[in-house]
Structure 1
Amino acid sequence: MAFKAVFDLTQKAQNEAKSERKLQTPFDEPDADRESAGIADLPERLQQGIEALGWPALMPVQAEAVPYILEGRDLIVQSRTGSGKTGAFLLPLLEKLDPNEKTTQALVLCPTRELASQIHAEFERMNAGLAKDEQLDAIPVYGGVGYGPQIDAFNRGVQLVVGTPGRVLDHLARGSLKLDKLRTIILDEADEMLSMGFFPDMIKVRRYLPKQRDSYMFSATMPFQVQRIGKEFLTDPVFLATAGGQIHVEQMAHRAYQVAPMDKDRTLAALIEWENPSAAIIFANTRREVEYLATFLNNYGYNAAGISSDLTQKAREKTMKRLRDGELRFLVATDVAARGIDVPDLSHVFQYDIPQDREYYVHRSGRTARAGKAGVSIAITTATDMPTLRQIARKYDIPLEERELPTEAEMASRVGQRLTNLLEDRMRDRSNLERERQARFVAVARQLVEEGEPEVLAMLLDEAYQQSLNEAPVGPAMDRTESEYDIKQREAREERESGGRDRKRGRRRDDDERDERDDAPHADARDDVSADAPSADADSADLDAEADGVDGSNGEAKPKRKRSRRRSRSKSDAGSDD
């Protein structure tokens, strides 16, 4: 009797399967019996702020989030831009901050100077609804402007600071901004801050924060890296998603851009620059295109390599290992060569060509958004391909979003801010001697600008930016240090395991040296196992190694120990010759 297996690959079927599974998140779910708030339920100061803004009612994200913030409960909110999230975290500040205390009590970190200005302007509008003696002082803080006015405002005393992580960190390092009286920190558009490369600055800012504080995070998307930010900054937060009530961390965004056939390669480079993924796979239909795109991206300044069926299995495994180890940022591949690829921290898939077999679109997209993480699948299409892509989206019930490419002005603004963040970061790390050396050239830089020769400076900026393209943005998933959450988890695990070790030791003979050795290194080794666990590709590498008479795990021969030592020495000698 024959059985036929049927797999439903539609988005609808996948969503139904997800709804049947119990959602696993590291955060608390919202209170089931909590009702959304209305304007009449809010404190008088908040109602005055709402009246000044002219809002007829609270938006859903505000109605759900404001009560948690007023209670001082740490909160993570997944809500898209334009949903009213800014009002959700600003309104409660009218009640939480003390106008008589002339110190910084709340800090809002956001990714861009434009957003900092918008948040500050909205706060000033709602602040104007309060009585004069109850109004609060706020200031936007970002790079590209002088330090003087910002320092003067800090000296006068402001209750709210809204700024980008880089400039806020500058003031903290100078001592012009002090956060010892801080009560509230808010991370707005956390996913964008990661994309802009602000993660190292955010971690440095965290060192200046008092332990007793209320913390809130808002993000349009909730990929794994953003969840790690939540673990770094928040304590037992509630996870609130305003889209339909059900929280789904596993998300796959599908985007399509239609361009002329001759513009596809430059469009790919532009979208990589815009999205700034930590790692990505780029799919092409032919080996020739794989070779061309790998060369094109390397010439453009990116760290890329291609794999196709032309390569030997060992060469493919070597390339895949570079991708898993973070040594390779972009992998270009055909569908055949990409079989079995499983990279945990892959954030993006770019489909340079629409697959000839429609089902492969689903398989390609599935290379990201794995194991409860979020991902983005981007298709670059032509007018000829777009009808086929729409048919695929209809067949598999895929929520395909057709987008226009970013304009040159939008791209220049994003790249400029990313470069500014990079250079300010380098400036902070310079020694006193290096700062003395660079001071000699400040007058030269001013002269070049005043005499109408900014192209010389632009050349140096371009070189600095191109060097940065080889480096993936540093984020929580790439950070090798343990977060506070990870430390707590490890300590709890070690405490559980220590009981088992003690029982085993009781059954052993008394051996002082063995019993008194430090267990910490062994605990670290256990923590490293999950990160270095062998994959399917590693297993195949082991098989190849075994065919050569070598253990693929450590490069040593298996049969006899004496031969193993000789083989190991000869292998290390060969390695040193390389």
Structure 2
Amino acid sequence: MKARKGGRFRSSFKLKQKGIEVIGKWKTVEIDPNLFAEEEFRNIVCLEELTDYRQVSSSKVGKLKEKRKAESISEEGNEEEEEEPVISHKKKKKTKDLRSKTDKSDDTAAAEFDVPVDREAKCNEIIELVDDEDHGPVADSVSSAKDAPKKKKKKVAKNKASQAQEALLSVPTSKKVKNWTTEVLSASTDRKADVSAWKDLFVPEPVLQALSYLGFSAPTPIQALALPSAIRDNMDVLGAAETGSGKTLAFAIPMIHSVLQWQKSNSSTTRNDSVSKDSHQHHDETSWENEDEAEKLTHQQAEDSGDEDDASFTTGCVKVLENFEFDSDDKTHTVSSHKKTPLLGLVLTPTRELAVQVKHHIDAVAKFTGIKTAIIVGGMAAQKQERVLNRKPEIVIATPGRLWELVKERHPHLSNLRQLRCLVIDEADRMVEKGHFLELSQLLEILNDSQYNPQRQTFVFSATLTLVHQTPTRVLQKKNAKKMDKKTKLELLMEKIGIKGKPKVIDLTRKEATVETLTETRIHCNTNEKDYYLYYFLLQYPGRTMVFANSIDCVKRLSSLLTILNCDPLPLHANMHQKQRLKNLERFAERESCVLLTTDVAARGLDIPNVQHVIHYQVPRTSELYVHRSGRTARAANEGLSLLLIGPDDLINFRKIYKTLEKSEELPFFPVETKCMTSIKERMNLARQIEKAEFFNSRAKQHNSWLQQAAEALEIDLDDDMLMGKKKN
């Protein structure tokens, strides 16, 4: 337990120095152990409260006594003295949450387009808007964005008693929405579903309970075919199924089953319900005999508390211990057995966002098992992720780059990769592509050497696992050239990944590779006309729309243009900070009508609810990317629309995709009402001029700032003609 005062951490175990003498004992607060599976409480060992204590008359307390009138007030004030810094920390956190909620509500209101149902009336409205207002709204949108006053943060104040009560009452309540996956996973939590259809698939009982809680009454085809082979027969699985078909649970459930089997065979008591009850009993019998040792432990915890999530805290007279590890030499602290838990399951994904999504899906179905999971991705603090691994999670979800860094640093929990029980490679065709993920090939060398666990299961999944490109004739004419087919592709994939036995191969993809509920359309236009048709579509068809581009520069340019046109776009690309990327995904999932501008970093695997439209602003370079991009909509039997904007530069890629996917019919042309286009072009051209001026001004400021700093360092004077924007050369 820690308390912060004056910027320093002080031990609260030395209670006599703080004017309180413990008369009674710390008493355990009875809480349902299953609730410790919730994400906010996953690292709490126990909750204890102290009610029987009295004031000590020491020299320090004597000074406090003179300032206070009554003994009861002094006890209350002494309690506040310890609690005050923690409460301020809580207020900051609550204010931050409140601010994010208000921002979300404001963003939602700003994102809605006022679009009438009558298309012809809408066209006339656009024309009148441009002709009558003389481009006023566009120019005003720029100035209003700059001049808009910032909202003041609301302060939330609560007394100590209400905070203590809230800390206990908050345990059984539902979690705050933290990412876009929560909406998907909590959609059916109001009613418990009948899961009898899952019982024939050998699903463990705790997982059945979670599936019922989530409302998953029946398995999808890929799950029904994969689970018996993986759980009962312990086979490796190669699965190819359409996007949105439930591939994550097809490998998550067998992995959870494998971990539960290991715990059962090794009599592991880690994070089970029995552990929670036993740990409470041990706490009742255990007392701190050495205060210096307790203070040393507190300071060690203080050093690890750089992150909000890892800090221990006090609420009233409730003691909460987080990230606590008992001394293994003490026989009474039997919970230390979790230190011996090895890494049992590893999931490798190509993108950070997909790793976050997979983690939340696994956590949802492992809700009642007590299994710990961790996410290891780039863009986040490496020290925090090392601390996460120190908790010995049974399952790790990672991207290859950051995982390889920690393996090279010889982190103890990653020293036993060869003894994994489950290895999953999600979106495998992308992961093993030549020239991508060098770290993955290095990881696979370690995983597949002679010392690997012969009982390890390997799961390989992708929507385009069996998609084969037609080999060009010039390549086939070369010596030793092989014609690529599905069998050859799978054999090469198995060789790279290291699958040595005969796996279960499941291929549920259609010949066209895209789902039946997807409507595919196209528009042929010049490159400079793509902006017009994009803006036309967003005005005429509001809803959740993902716009894909091939480059980060294109995403940035479109983001500036659509911001000027009041479309309120959300960008997503690899150069953004990871927290901002996840925040934009969360906002996109919350708003009814919104635009997400993204590169192919969001093309694979992301299950964002109710995406109605996908626009390929630039035609993707490969057929796989086209299938995965289009798969962000029309998921789980819902309908969706995919629109290709095809310019002269995109024709080659379009023909390759069309040939590879073996489309039986030509893609229909998207209908465009030409009477709207004149007004659309006027608005877009004006927005382009504003965007160009803003871009030049920002670049000029950066250039001039650099020149002025260099001139000051060299102690020379600058001429005006050397500054951008001052004088034209």
Give TM-score scaled by structure 2 length.
0.32
Give TM-score scaled by structure 1 length.
0.39
In our comparison, the structure showing a higher alpha carbon Rg is 2
